[in-house]
Amino acid sequence: MTDTADNAYARAGVDIEAADRAVDLMKEWVEKARRPEMLGGLGGFAGLFDASALTSYKRPLLATSTDGVGTKVAVAQMMDKHDTIGFDLVGMVVDDLVVCGAEPLFMTDYIATGKVVPERIAAIVKGIAEACVEAGCALVGGETAEHPGLLAPDEYDVAGATTGVVEADDLLGASLVREGDVVIAMAASGLHSNGYSLARHVFFTRAGWTVDRHVDEFGHTLGEELLVPTRIYTKPALAIARETETHAMAHITGGGLANNLARVMPPELKATLDRATWTPAPVFDVVRRVGEVAQPDLEATLNCGVGMVALVAPDSVDAALARLEELGIDSWVAGEVGVDPAQQGTVELVGQHPGW
């Protein structure tokens, strides 16, 4: 007897019925992550977004960003907790987009897995949708792919892309940065989604800890700490970009604070940040001590407590700090911009964190 196409595909390891059930389960969450400009729903070959609103711009610039969450997915799989990793995915892409002053409009996602478990896929999409709501963008579509033989049944990876828009006259960046600008740091919620290869090596390989180990410094288990979702700065960052004289911003991801801030520094200027102005969350100090990681290596890998930085004109600092506080973001003056005699657009960290 000849197999039907569905049966043959299932015998090869791909479960179409499970994929259909996953779509049914995620519909509720995707519906929550809509904007008025979004057309249609799940099931189309492409997501649709009504761009007629862009006619109100004099010169609209489209911005796009794509990313994943790296090896943080391995921790989610170890914990069998999947409803926060989507939040990390959105945070990685929308906060890259917002640094140029762009408002994220819509997002798409891609989930690859060894075996489609509908409840797990729905949990991932739930996190993505909730984060899109917080960022103010629509989740217009996505794709779930089953890769038996390439990924183990419980393994998956996620990626996503977002598109946004900024008025050309409101574009932020290095060309606007001036001597005397003040560096405002915005607190990270934790490790965010970078440096997990280092963190996993320190905690699981070197120290031999497990995800259910209670860590006094954290006040909860190691796994709970490692799964703290990435903070989404989109709306607060857009608020200060629109309401104050903010010249540039930097999303602090892989490479750490100095390397990411240097990406928006003109060659003739130098930013100097004082570590004494903040105390990183305990997780950073624990990685440092347990792993015996030298501070330069730590700072070149992890965000060390700062998830976003804004370069603001001196007379806008108080207003920017007040607005960020109003929107629930801990922030502080971490340094200032001066002349760089070496003409390299460098960023220097001086001083030491309290208690380090």
CATH architecture assigned to 174-350:
Alpha-Beta Complex (3.90)
Per DSSP, the residues of 289-316 read: HHHT--HHHHHTTS-TTEEEEEEE-GGG
Which of the listed CATH numbers 3.30.390.30, 3.20.20.140, 1.10.357.10, 3.30.1330.10 matches domain 8-167? 3.30.1330.10
Domain ranges of the chain: 8-167, 174-350
What does the pLDDT average to over 270-277? 98
Q: Which residue has the higher pLDDT, 2 or 187?
A: 187
With cut-offs at 50, 70 and 90, classify the pLDDT of residue 39: low
Confidence label for 19 from pLDDT (cuts 50, 70 and 90): low
Which element (helix H / strand E) includes 260? helix 256-261
Least confident of 23-37, 116-130, 146-160: 23-37
Two structure tokens written together for 326: 């109003």
Q: What is the mean pLDDT of residues 6-12?
A: 54
Reduced 3-state DSSP string for 44-73: CCCCEECHHHHHHCCCEEEEEEEEECCCHH
Nearest to 314 by CA among 184, 182, 178: 182
Instruction: Please tell me the distance from the alpha carbon of residue 140 to that of residue 46, in angstroms, as a whole number.
Output: 8
Out of 97-111, 136-150, 263-277, pick the least confident.
136-150
pLDDT score of 48: 73
User: Could you tell me the CA-to-CA distances from 256 to 158, 211, 236, 308 in Å, in that order?
Assistant: 22, 25, 21, 11
pLDDT of residue 23: 56
Cα–Cα separations (whole angstroms), residue 275 to 73, 180, 211, 347, 355:
30, 19, 30, 13, 11
pLDDT value at position 337?
98
What's the confidence (pLDDT) of residue 13? 52
Contact 340, 269 (CB under 8 A): yes
If one counts every other C-beta atom within 10 angstroms of the C-beta of residue 158, the result is 27
Please say if the pLDDT value at position 166 is more than 80: yes
Least trusted range by pLDDT, from 32-36, 172-176, 212-216: 32-36
Indicate if the pLDDT at residue 272 is higher than 90: yes
Cβ contacts of residue 278 below 8 Å, gap of 6+?
185, 187, 305, 306, 332, 334, 353
Q: Where residue 30 falls among pLDDT bands split at 50, 70, 90?
A: low
- What is the pLDDT confidence band of residue 276, given thresholds at 50, 70 and 90? very high
Distances (CA, A) of 103 to 64, 83, 122, 192, 282: 10, 25, 27, 21, 33
Own/partner long-range contacts of 207-211 (Cβ < 8 Å, ≥24 apart): 207/290, 207/291, 211/75, 211/78, 211/79
* pLDDT at 308 > cutoff 80: yes
For the segment 203-244, what is each residue's pLDDT rounded down to a tens digit? Answer: 999 999 999 999 999 999 999 999 999 999 999 999 999 999
From the list 232, 268, 269, the residue with the least C-alpha distance to 251 is 232
Residue 33 has pLDDT above 70, yes or no: no
Looking at residue 40, its pLDDT comes to: 61
Percentage of the residues of the chain whose pLDDT score is greater than 90: 81
- Whether residue 231 contacts residue 192, with contact meaning beta carbons closer than 8 Å, is answered with yes
Give me the pLDDT at residue 1, please. Answer: 41
Binned at pLDDT 50, 70 and 90, residue 2 comes out as very low
Q: Please give the structure tokens belonging to residue 295.
A: 């501070």
Predicted local distance difference test score (pLDDT) of residue 120: 93
pLDDT, residue 141, reads 80
Q: Across the chain, what does the average pLDDT equal? A: 91
The per-residue pLDDT for 226 is 98
| pTM for the predicted model, two decimal places | 0.90
pLDDT in tens, 48-106: 777 888 899 999 999 999 999 999 999 999 999 999 999 999 999 999 999 999 999 99
Strand 269-274 with 347-350, pairing = parallel
Identify the H or E element spanning 127.
helix 118-135
